[in-house]
Amino acid sequence: MTTNTSPYIPNTEADREQMLAAIGVRSIDDLVQDIPEQHRFPDLNLRPSLSEFDLTAEIAALADKNATPGDYACFLGAGAYRHYIPSVVKSVVARGEFLTSYTPYQPEVAQGTLQVGFEFQSMICEITGMEVANAGMYDGPTAFAEGALMACRVTRRQTIAVLDTVDPRNVAILDAYSRHQSIEIVTIGRDDDLPDDASCLMIQSPNQFGAIEDMEALANKAHAAGALAVASVNPTSLGMFKSPGECDVDIVAAEGQALGVPLSFGGPYVGLFACKDAHKRQMPGRIIGRTTDTKGRIGYALTLQTREQHIRRERATSNICTSTALIGLLMTTYLAVIGRSGFKKVAELCYHKAHYAASQIGQLPGYSVKTDGTFFHEFLVECPKTPAEINRSLLDHKIIGGHDLSDRSESGMLICVTETNTRAEIDSLVSALAQIGGAK
């Protein structure tokens, strides 16, 4: 019998024998016999172990090789954004009762967690102008895909129309969710008609190039075809621009990372999801409600659970298994701390700083700023060299450059500016681009 030992697995030999007997096998080898022998217990060829002190030093040295926002001026966005997060946000979320809590199946012992979820939903409704919000989704792109599937259930149609300015990465997620459900995805332009059997029109605003879409006109276009309007929004932009609810959008999805969630190497993040009241029974995820008990005290409980692991089973609207509540707490605390005026101020700073950057870059020889109407805090720049070349050179100036969009626009780079970018950083970017520019 093969014996594996580890200081991190405290089972004794007697423990192992008892567990093996319970499942009806004599040894570990019997347990893994379906795995080809050459792949069992491979030699990992690990380096000799280090002391904690030495390992910490080595990991720190590796981490120092990263170009990180803060140490570098950062102009990279495209779905993940660097915003200032007040220190109190981390202090609240680090409290033990939040860090260790799990899904609040038992409301009598989870009132704090449920209250946070209720406040989270309320804030989403206020920001988006929608009537109902759920307690959270995995992330923005999957929430967007869930919105399309919800529209198919509501309209009982199997075609999804996607505006051609939606980020292809969002479309890829949508394709993964729908490809095995006999659902067709059709890409259309702003002036194209929707297919007769379209369940919805999928809109992204700001779109993949940073431009604000006319959601009201697009929602009217969808409704005229008997379809729903499903919008993915950057929540920060709603501090300045009309909300989806004001534009008569039916279903709204968003990535909540911009609202108090660190970049964190890409996650975990939190998806926001809201809709009109008429459609709430087809909403994925869960809704937390507030009520009073027999003594008149405020209490919170899960009031809508459409997940398959609850009583819905095969009639579930979604198989989502978490609401990423801890990340939702980050967002809820952030919004509570900055308040209504702070939320508006952040949006205004992003807008004005981005427009200043665009005006300066647009004057550089060889660079051309391409905007399609009003843009928020991202804009497309066509460059004299490939974005890959420019971004490599920008690192020498302690600058993280923009997102490479050369697959959608020749030598196109998406530049992102937020409230964290100082005028000095923007001017340094402009100066560096001027030095790097030249003939292709």
In the predicted model, residues of the chain with pLDDT beneath 50 are 1, 308, 439-440
State how far Cα 244 lies from the chain centre.
18
Please name the amino acid found at residue 6: S
The pLDDT value given to residue 440: 43
The pLDDT value given to residue 390: 97
The pLDDT value given to residue 103: 66
Measured between alpha carbons, how far is 353 from 425 in angstroms, rounded to an integer? 11
The pLDDT value given to residue 321: 73
Q: Are residues 380 and 210 in contact, defined by beta-carbon separation less than 8 angstroms?
A: yes
Domains of the chain: 73-85+340-436 (3.90.1150.10), 87-334 (3.40.640.10)
Cβ neighbours, 10 Å, residue 255: 26
Measured between alpha carbons, how far is 416 from 423 in angstroms, rounded to an integer? 14
Single out the residue of 269, 297, 420 nearest to residue 354, CA to CA: 420
Measured between alpha carbons, how far is 56 from 51 in angstroms, rounded to an integer? 8
Angle between helices 325-361 and 423-436 (to 10 degrees): 60
Measured between alpha carbons, how far is 122 from 269 in angstroms, rounded to an integer? 19
Q: Is 5 exposed, middle or buried (0-12, 13-18, 19+ CB in 10 A)?
A: exposed
The pLDDT value given to residue 3: 55
Measured between alpha carbons, how far is 92 from 24 in angstroms, rounded to an integer? 48
Measured between alpha carbons, how far is 342 from 348 in angstroms, rounded to an integer? 10
φ, ψ for residue 125, nearest 5 deg = -60, -40
For residue 51, CA distances in Å to 8, 56, 116 come to 16, 8, 41
- Strand ranges (DSSP E) for 81-206? 132-133, 159-163, 184-188, 198-205
Q: Are residues 158 and 325 in contact, defined by beta-carbon separation less than 8 angstroms?
A: no
The pLDDT value given to residue 59: 95
> Pairing mode, if any, of strands 228-233 and 251-255?
parallel
The pLDDT value given to residue 51: 93
In DSSP notation, 176-208 reads HHHTTTT-EEEEE-TTSPPPTTEEEEEEEES-T
The pLDDT value given to residue 311: 58
